[in-house]
Chains A and B, each alone.
Chain A
């Protein structure tokens, strides 16, 4: 560790950080896992999923939006937070239609892997069974809003990676949903291309590239081979894209 570098404590481990770095970014750089679904290295954090909630003293904060400070003591892997994270994940499951047996993202899905990580055996809460619009208008990409967890990674990727501004979240409360910035509101009239980060970054089965589903045998999918705490979202997306384009 360079002498000018500061550090904080995360679950009894010293994590070095540079001023201005968030707890999440410092932890990821030190290869220490804090659960997260809406964080992606290099994309500005937004604190949507709350899975990265950690404790500093008696305060719960989102690790992705809280700046690291010298010598703070941060707790993450404690029962209280595991229980809270499981409840949050259950809430994400019941708000959408997460019918894994019929979803082509199964085995490659970060939400599902998170639920496995947290030992989620049931959904606990009553199902919402929402009826949101599927957009299959684009020749190469489709959008299933019932699987969207509103992480807004696609929104931010489309603003920050290529400046196309294809996506936004519209509506309030439970009516919030992913919308497409085009005259008709359809993907077909947007500038989205399959190679855009925004089309690839979805951690669940909401934004999908057409005609590449079910190509990886069971047992060889990303989360058949890795646990979510061993592989970051960045690697998941790289790995999935390699799988998805293998036969092209």
Chain B
């Protein structure tokens, strides 16, 4: 009897977990003395890899990043939306065109669905100092049809 109950419990646990869809693991994009950036993919279909070369409170302009992903959409046009949250309230949001028909800024622009991309190079970001605190950042990469290319929930901890 006990065995049955245990088996039943385990079975339901496995099944419910499998059916419910698990979250992707949280990765560390960079970690240094004063700054830590963690991220988790919020695209239910896949995870991706990302790292920042230098990690400091005084964020340098044009940081070098590394990025690896499988494209699930063509990226002839690619846009990045960044939303900053504190206590789950959006306080700042910004949209940036990465690839456009008349200005493909990066060499990976125009790559096609199914391609695996590895990018190691400058991020073309402005430099600024991050004030102390913990921030939630939602990053979304999407194409002209609003189809998700990548999605990340990031946590920035600045001490």
Chain A complexes with chain B: no
B residues whose Cβ falls under 8 Å from a Cβ of A? none
